[in-house]
Amino acid sequence: MSRRLPPLNALKAFEAAARNLSFTKAADELFVTQAAVSHQIKHLEEHLGLKLFLRKNRSLLLTEEGQGYFLDIRDIFTQLIDATDKLLARGAKGSLTVSLTPSFAIQWLVPRLNLFNEAHPDIDVRIKAQDQDENSLTDDVDVAIYYGKGNWSGIETHKLHTEYMVPLCSPMLLNSTIPMKTPGDLQKHVLLHDMTRRNWKTWMKTAGVRDIKVNQGPIFSHSSMVLQAAVHGQGVALGNSVLAKPDIDSGRLIIPFSHYLESKNAFYLVFRESQSDLGKIVSFKDWMLDLVAQEQN
């Protein structure tokens, strides 16, 4: 004899309706319409060949068969919930692999990682620093930090920072014999470029600065490199305000001019939508978002 399970969606609708003795309350709980619940109950009754509910004077009652069936499956649903909670609790421990660019790892995450370790000693964070690959959520990666506009498909995204591009230099440049009092003085200094010269061109245009040769100066493949070059007095960088924060706070870098660019891009914490409830990922997400909020206040 073939043993076939009844439709699971219909079982969910029956359990909710029997527990609440109301199709309306069951519909609200399941985020569906009352008609959808009624349809699922009818489908289940046809599958079983039994009547499960009686409607009397605008009230909903269980039949004798329906009452017995509800008592039996209620325990099964409770066991499913308990099993899921245990699984998610186990997911709050173990290793968590984070994929991110070397610059964000060096300049932002690594200096703060001890705070996460203290708050979550059962989670062992593994850093996988690599140039951004928007297909990096492979089986060995739990979460990643992407840089862009946040429009990636198939993944859950959480914006971390609003980014500004600001001029940055070592204090030693200000103390040199070459002036740096106005943006026009940049023509006497080396410009340091992060990946592209486009940002400096846009900054000069919006600052109203002309006649400066932006197509000169070294280009660095990683943001951390251009910041280190600026720290060592090799020129003036147009740097990411988020990544430069440790050097600004320590006084290794200063912002010589107040004009800045608000970037259309930002850093995002991303992970698979199917793992959004996994304990260790929730813990890391909540920690990062809380920390970012504190730093932006």
Average pLDDT over residues 251-263: 92
pLDDT reported for residue 7: 86
CATH number for the domain spanning 66: value is 1.10.10.10
Q: Express each pLDDT in 190-247 by its tens digit.
A: 999 988 899 999 999 999 998 888 888 999 988 889 999 999 999 999 998 888 988 9
Same domain (yes/no): 62, 100: no
pLDDT reported for residue 1: 36
Averaged pLDDT score across all residues of the chain: 87
Task: Tell me if 286 sits within 8 A of 293, measured CB to CB.
Answer: no
In a domain, 45, yes or no: yes
Q: Give the bridge partners for 200, in sequence order.
A: none
User: What ranges in 125-197 are assigned the alpha helix state H?
Assistant: 171-174
Structure confidence at residue 14 as a pLDDT band (50, 70, 90): very high
In a domain, 1, yes or no: no
Q: Directed axis angle between helix 8-20 and helix 23-30, to 10°?
A: 130
In a domain, 3, yes or no: no
pTM score:
0.63
Average pLDDT over residues 145-174: 89
Same domain (yes/no): 195, 255: yes
Same domain (yes/no): 105, 192: no
Same domain (yes/no): 270, 153: yes
The phi, psi pair for 135, rounded to 5°, reads -115, 25
Rounded Cα distance, 290 and 284, in Å: 10
Rounded (10°) CA dihedral 241, 243, 248, 249? 110
Task: Tell me if 134 sits within 8 A of 116, measured CB to CB.
Answer: no
Same domain (yes/no): 256, 272: no
Q: Express each pLDDT in 124-155 by its tens digit.
A: 999 998 887 666 677 788 999 998 888 888 89
Residue partners of 78: CB distance under 8 A and separation at least 6: none
Number of domains in the chain: 3
Average pLDDT over residues 74-82: 83
Give the range among 10-19, 83-92, 198-207 with minimum mean pLDDT: 83-92
Q: Domain range for residue 58?
A: 8-90
| Radius of gyration for the chain, computed over Cα atoms and rounded to the nearest angstrom | 29
Same domain (yes/no): 153, 183: no
